Chain A
Amino acid sequence: MDITCETQGPVCIMRVISDRIDAAIAIQFKDMFRDMVACVTGPVVLDLGQVTFLDSSGLGAVVAARKLLGADRTLELAGLNPAVEKVMQLTRMNTVFLIHPNRDAALAAHGVAPAA
């Protein structure tokens, strides 16, 4: 698993490079996210476009990531695949996170035009 970080205008896009965020890598995800957000300010968008499976441990790690940013910053999600969306709906975590259809939509919501 890896996480890439890209700053676009005011937003930091963190893309998860893994097919799964499950119990096997939840702790690794949380640790990696913690190290990476230490160097950025402002809102963070977690691009889950590559992630096709999230279990409750993975969800717990995403919630932990949200808490790491504190109440003053936001963690938004983008690019939820059907299995990820199902977990978010069933646990009602879709009411806690702002969710964008994809990375470009997330950037547009922050006033960053997509690359031509």
Chain B
Amino acid sequence: MEITATRDQVSRALTQLNQQLIGLGLDPDALIRMELVLAEALNNIVEHAYCDAGHGNIALEASVHSNTIWCHLTDSGRPMPGGKLPPARRYDLGALDVQDLPEGGFGWGLIHDLTSSLIYDRSGAQNRLTLTIDLDC
């Protein structure tokens, strides 16, 4: 599917995709993991690759084979910083006061935790992210 790079359109596309895949009888827990990973990856593209400009396209392809959900995301926004995937950021929450609790920075941690593989490459003016979610884990 083609998604215009705004938060509203990402939200709408994920709801639609989830309904389609529930209809296929896929494991509900795998769909939760997929929706979460895609929400983080897509909103990163909206926010960072397209700088919240309110336009730009994201192509999302999802397929299921070999007990795995495969997702391919392609966009024409800015490349990832340094041309590579950002690392997962981890917080020591127990050491923080209430007012210092983080309100962001969870996205890549969630993506790394919930995917079984994650590949980024820049090809010409396009970012391509391929990720897989195991159906049973």
**CB-defined contacts of A61 to chain B, threshold 8 Å:** 103
Q: Which applies to chain A's interface (DSSP): helix, strand, loop or mixed?
A: helix
Task: Give the interface size bracket for B toward A.
Answer: 20 to 34
Interface residue tally for chain A (C-beta within 8 Å): 28
**CB-defined contacts of A96 to chain B, threshold 8 Å:** 93, 101
**CB-defined contacts of A83 to chain B, threshold 8 Å:** 32, 35-36
Q: Decide: B101 and A87 in contact? CB cutoff 8 A.
A: no
Stretch at the interface among A7-15, A17-25, A43-51: A17-25
A60-B104, A91-B110 given; A23·B43 CB < 8 A: yes
Q: Decide: B98 and A67 in contact? CB cutoff 8 A.
A: yes
A113 within 8 A of B: no
**CB-defined contacts of B101 to chain A, threshold 8 Å:** 63, 66-67, 96
A71 within 8 A of B: yes
A98 within 8 A of B: no
Q: Decide: A20 and B110 in contact? CB cutoff 8 A.
A: no
Q: Which applies to chain B's interface (DSSP): helix, strand, loop or mixed?
A: helix
Q: How far is the CA of A46 from the CA of B10 in the complex (A)?
A: 25
Q: Decide: A23 and B32 in contact? CB cutoff 8 A.
A: no
CB distance from A18 to the nearest CB of B (A): 11
A55-B43, A56-B40, A56-B110 given; A86·B98 CB < 8 A: no
Given contacts A22-B39, A23-B43, A60-B104, 6 further A-B contacts (CB under 8 A): A24-B7, A24-B11, A25-B11, A53-B39, A71-B98, A90-B114
Give chain A's interface residues, CB within 8 Å of chain B.
20, 22-25, 53, 55-57, 59-61, 63-64, 66-67, 70-71, 82-83, 86-87, 90-93, 95-96
